A and B are shown apart, each in its own frame.
Chain A
Amino acid sequence: MIAGISIYEILTLSSILFFIGIYGFFTRDNLITVLMAVELILNASAVNFVLINTYLYPDLLQGAVFSIFIIALAAAETALAIAIIINLYRIIYSVEVKDTEIMKY
């Protein structure tokens, strides 16, 4: 509960975060940055949980716990994604999105 800041500002923030993530996902050329965009999306929802918990339902800590788990799983996801991307890099020596288009139609 931050004084002087209503839930709406923060919700706006998190939504912006979310859509920045989406935008990043659409536009980045590099797989790593795409991954970072995904992280933004996950973080947006993590933030959501925390502040909804604190602002609306402060008596139970469900949201907070949830966000912790989100962070943990996001970390795992990232690690795996990085590993996969590296594996790709070892094969084609590139992490460009446009090099991952051989399977289509």
Chain B
Amino acid sequence: MDFSYTILIPLIPLALFVILGLFSKKIPASISGWLGSLGLGTSIALSLYTAYHYFMDGKLEGVYQTFVYKQTWLIFTDKLHIDLGVLIDPISVMMMVVVTTISFMVHLYSRGYMHGDDGYTRFFAYLALFSFSMLGLVLATNLFQMYIFWELVGASSFLLIGYYYTKPSAVAAAKKAFIVTRFADLGFLIGILLISYYTGTFDFKDLTSLDGMLIAGWGASASFMGLSVFTWGLILIYMGGVGKSAMLPFHIWLPDAMEGPTPVSALIHAATMVVAGVYLVARLFPAYYFVEDGFALQVVAYVGAISSLVAALIAVTQTDIKRVLAFSTMSQIGYMMLALGVSKYEGHEGLGYMASMFHLFTHAMFKALLFLGAGSVIHAVHSNYMQDMGGLRKYMPVTHITFLIAALSIAGFPGFAGFFSKDEILVAAFESNKLIYYSSVLVAGLTAFYMFRLYFNIFWGEDRKYKHTPHESPLSMTIPLVFLAFMSIFAGYIPFSQFVTADLMPFEAHLNLPLAAIASSVGIIGIIIAFIFYKKPSDLPERFANAFGFIYKWIYNKLYFDELYIFVTKKILFGVVAFSASWFDKNVVDSSMIGIGNVTVSVSNKIKGMQSGKLQDYAMSFVGGIVVIAMVVFYIWIN
């Protein structure tokens, strides 16, 4: 089988970006929108074809094969070199489908949403750039290629968040997102350096093959603080993932990133880029699992679990609907992380791995849908805040229905896509780590609650007196909604364990009924509470909030993470380090150099008296010179 044509899938968006970017002035809005959609259309067609082709006959005696097509790009040493290329295996194909699908939907949607914006073409250029980078990341054949595209998605996310670049808040958010993730990527880079130093390769194939250098040779490497350098390397690489996927403690950029246009949030900050961390861990899963008994993997698990819990708690309190969705994204990604973390390798043991990929897939669908729905609501109401909304169901039926479907799906309501994937995750957690299991059940309940809090607040509740009555969004926006709604119901029925597994061997996954029952009932309880609280306007929520008092306040302010970061950066790094550096440079280094000059001049002023203008002084110095020289000669040098 030959999959080399898949290289086209990222290259088409690149071509789009170049064309739209270079001629952004020339190309009229009407054309650029279509151009973008068309390009992504081709990509999605190709990737679907690839998926079909691969999953149908990509197996060799029951094991999914890995296909690599690559080209050397830069040679460091005789062993280390960067290749660019495509790597075809189940998860990459799966991700490829996800990325192209969502991207295509967002393109269609944006044609309506961004209509009349003066940067229309620029917007589509950025989207194309992002799609290219994301696909490159997904198809990466080695760590370094992944790092390259990792940086590129960061940059394009910077550009897209800062799309409204005249808005200070947008600029600040873009900077924040870029710098925070860049800091995380520093870990990624150092991890790469460590690993490559000991293994002498960047290649995923070598790093993940069971007899590969990494897994075989971790014991050989030096150890630091009781852990092998390999484990450190993996943890540092994971740090990059934590940054991109907005896990604790690097999650702070995600809420602010909502400053970007809503389609962007849907594409980048819900469906694709933010799951890159999950994808990274999945990509290196064997290494994480086998090196030093999977210590790094436990780190992954706990970070995921904590993040999901914290995010869910915060989501309950937020009032900006996009921020609610952002935190829900964070918590769902925490789910995927913990699923990976608790997973094992062989066969049914590797359920968690499968589950997290599964959830990644379904989550992409319904979360994108949620964002796009929120987008269409915002489009109608011109506000992000719940308190400006309510009773929208009669104004915008399509949005309402699709949003409801998505909410049910994410809440894990039986029969919807989210239900299946989440159930697998809980099963996997239950089988390996009870603590994580309980927390994730709790999260499931919270998720259902805040989702429906959102839902009821937007579409039910009292009808605000809108200045100009909201209306349903145009077709260009509703069609993607409908499609995604369809997906978020039926994506759950895909037999994922047949396709995506840790050891590349299909296995049979069954619904674990008791656990499923617990999970869904918890979800339903959450929905009911939300119903009681928010179906009709009431003072219950306030009473409740006051009951919890400072805890509520604490959570509402996102546990003061931002404040902490601002303190560290502004006060310590800028205020102390940078300030002292520049001060030192100005007042010590520079002035010492100037000082040399000044000393010379002042000395010359001091000694000017020697030239007294008196003839006889000159004569004295003349004779004195003779005498001194004679004395020096006779008393020091001779004898």
Q: Which residues of A approach B to under 8 Å, CB–CB? A: 22, 25-27, 34, 97-98, 100-105
Q: Name the residue on A nearest B605 (C-beta).
A: A105
Is residue B589 within 8 Å, beta carbon to beta carbon, of the partner chain?
Answer: no
Chain B residues within an 8 Å CB radius of A27: 616
Whole-angstrom distance between the alpha carbons of A102 and B614 in the complex? Answer: 9
Residue from A34, A102, A105 in contact with B615 in the complex, judged by beta carbons closer than 8 Å: A34
The 5 listed contacts between A and B (C-beta, < 8 Å) are A97-B616, A100-B615, A101-B612, A101-B613, A104-B614
Quick one: which of A22, A26, A104 contacts B613, CB cutoff 8 A? A104
Asked whether B615 lies within 8 Å of A97 as measured between CB atoms, the reply is yes
Q: In the complex, what distance in Å separates the CA atom of A33 from the CA atom of B75?
A: 90
Judging by beta carbons under 8 Å apart, are B619 and A26 in contact?
yes
Q: Chain B, 609-624, contact with A by CB distance < 8 Å: what is the 0/1 string?
A: 1011111100110010
* A34→B614 CA distance, assembly (Å): 13
Q: Within the complex, what minimum Cβ distance (angstroms) separates A91 from chain B?
A: 16
Task: List the A side residues contacting B79 at CB < 8 Å.
Answer: none
Interface contact B612-A26, CB-CB below 8 Å: no
Q: A residues within 8 A CB of B467?
A: none
Knowing that A22-B623, A101-B614 touch, tell me 6 more A-B residue pairs with CB under 8 angstroms: A25-B616, A101-B612, A101-B613, A104-B612, A105-B609, A105-B611
Contact among A25, A98, A104, A105 with B619 in the assembled complex (CB-CB below 8 Å): A25
B510 within 8 A of A: no
The complex places the Cα of A102 from the Cα of B615 at a distance, in Å, of: 11
A103 to B615, CA, bound (A): 10
In the assembled complex, the Cα of A104 lies from the Cα of B614 at a distance in Å of 8
5 smallest CB-CB distances across A and B, nearest first, come from: A104-B613, A101-B613, A105-B608, A25-B619, A105-B611
Provide the residues of chain B in CB contact with A26, threshold 8 Å.
616, 619-620
Q: Which residues from B are CB-within-8-Å of A104?
A: 611-614
Considering only CB atoms, which chain B residue lies closest to A37 in the complex?
B619
Q: Give the docked Cα–Cα distance between A58 and B632 (Å).
A: 35
- Residues of B in contact (CB 8 Å), total 11
CA distance A100 to B616 in the complex (A): 11
Closest to B611 in A: A105
State how many angstroms separate the Cβ of A33 from the closest Cβ of chain B.
Answer: 12
In the bound complex, CA of A48 to CA of B19 (Å): 102
| A104 nearest CB neighbor, chain B only | B613
B615: A residues at CB distance < 8 A:
34, 97, 100
Name the CB-closest residue of B to A26.
Answer: B616
CA of A26 to CA of B624, assembled, Å: 12
What chain B residues lie within 8 Å of A97 (beta carbons)? 614-616
Chain A hits for B620, CB < 8 A? 26
A5: min CB distance to chain B, Å: 28
Chain B residues closer than 8 Å to A103, beta-carbon distance: 613
Residue of A97, A102, A105 with most partner-chain B CB within 10 A: A105
Closest B residue to A38 using CB positions: B619
Query: How far is A102 from B609 in the complex, measured between Cα atoms in Å?
Result: 14
Write the B212-240 contact mask toward A (1 if CB under 8 angstroms, else 0): 00000000000000000000000000000
Question: How far is B616's CA from A25's CA once the two chains are assembled, in angstroms?
Answer: 7
The CA-CA distance from A98 to B613 in the complex, in Å, is 9
CB distance from A20 to the nearest CB of B (A): 13
Q: Determine if A102 and B619 form an interchain contact, defined as CB atoms under 8 angstroms apart.
A: no
Which residues of A are found within 8 Å of B612, using beta-carbon distances? 101, 104
Assembled-state Cα–Cα distance A22/B614 (Å): 15
**In the assembled complex, how far is the CB of residue A77 from the closest CB belonging to chain B, in whole angstroms?**
16
Nearest Cβ distance between residue B623 and chain A, in whole angstroms?
Answer: 6
A26 to chain B, nearest CB (A): 5
What CA separation (Å) do A104 and B609 show in the bound complex? 8
Bound CA–CA A105/B607 (angstroms): 9
Indicate the member of A25, A27, A98 with the most B CB atoms within 10 Å.
A25
Bound Cα distance from A98 to B612, whole angstroms: 11
Q: Are A105 and B623 in touch, CB under 8 angstroms?
A: no
Per the bound structure, the CA–CA distance linking A22 and B623 in Å amounts to: 8
Nearest CB of chain A from residue B337's CB, rounded to whole Å: 80
Complex interface residues of chain B between 486 and 536 (CB less than 8 A to chain A): none
Minimum CB–CB distance for A58 against chain B, Å: 30
Across the two chains, which residue of chain A brings its CB closest to B613?
A104
Among B608, B609, B614, B615, max chain A CB count under 10 A is at B615
Contacts of A101 in B (CB 8 A): 612-614
A25→B611 CA distance, assembly (Å)? 18
Closest residue of A by beta carbon distance from B614: A101
Measured in the bound complex, the distance between the Cα atoms of B612 and A104 in whole Å is 5
**CA A100 to CA B614, docked complex, whole Å:** 7
Beta-carbon contact of B623 and A102 below 8 Å: no
Residues on A with C-beta less than 8 A from B623 are 22
CA–CA, A26 to B611, complex, Å?
Answer: 16
Q: How far is the CB of B618 from chain A (nearest CB, A)?
A: 10
Q: Within the assembled complex, what's the spacing in Å between the Cα atoms of A66 and B508? A: 127
Alpha-carbon distance A22/B611, docked complex (angstroms)? 20
Give, as a whole number of angstroms, the nearest-CB distance from A19 to chain B. 9
CA distance A26 to B619 in the complex (A): 7
CB-nearest residue of chain B relative to A25? B619
Whole-angstrom distance between the Cβ of A95 and the nearest chain B Cβ: 12
B614: chain A residues within 8 A (beta carbon): 97-98, 101, 104
Complex CA–CA separation, A102 to B608 (angstroms): 15
Residues of A near B613 (CB, < 8 A) are 101-105
Could you give, for residues 580-621 of chain B, a 1 whenever the CB lies within 8 Å of some chain A CB and a 0 otherwise?
000000000000000000000000000011011111100110
- Could you tell me the distance in whole angstroms from the C-beta of B605 to the nearest C-beta in chain A? 10
Inter-chain CA distance A59–B613, complex, in Å, is: 47
**Closest residue to B608 on the A side, CB-wise?**
A105
